[in-house]
Amino acid sequence: MGRRPDGGENEKKMIRMGCWQFDVPDYFVARYFSEIVAWAKNFQKIGVIKSIVLREGYYSESSPDEEQGAELIQVKLIAKRGRKFVEVAAYRERDRRNIANHCQKMRDLGIPPGAKLIEPPRPWIPFMPEIGSA
């Protein structure tokens, strides 16, 4: 388990939602709650690994190729059956880092978890899907 992004010493504290327990920042769970609920409802169909596209709106970094527009970052979560809960954590270290950086960035910008941001155009995507609609 990684250190909490807020620098707190309580490394093993996890958020609980029903019989699910999360080892990701509280901000992340609050921001992507509807996607997590949809995952829980469709767990048999989706499986143990869930991809989530980070919603940063116009605060997204530009991609290295400016013609491609803003970056679109995807992270993966993995669910494992624990003794009492389904434990959810970042799938890889890179996902954990991206989640922590995303949450810190959004908090630093003063964006509340429930904020709906307008996504910038991304020319390489023929249409912008409704990200996070449950």
Convert the pLDDT of each residue in 119-128 to its tens digit. 887 776 665 5
* Rounded-to-10 torsion of CA 52, 55, 56, 57: 150
Bigger pLDDT: 44 or 17? 44
**pLDDT tens-digit map of 50-105:** 999 999 999 999 888 777 778 889 999 999 877 777 888 999 999 999 999 999 99
CA distance 132 to 114: 12
Helix (H), strand (E) counts: the chain: 4, 5
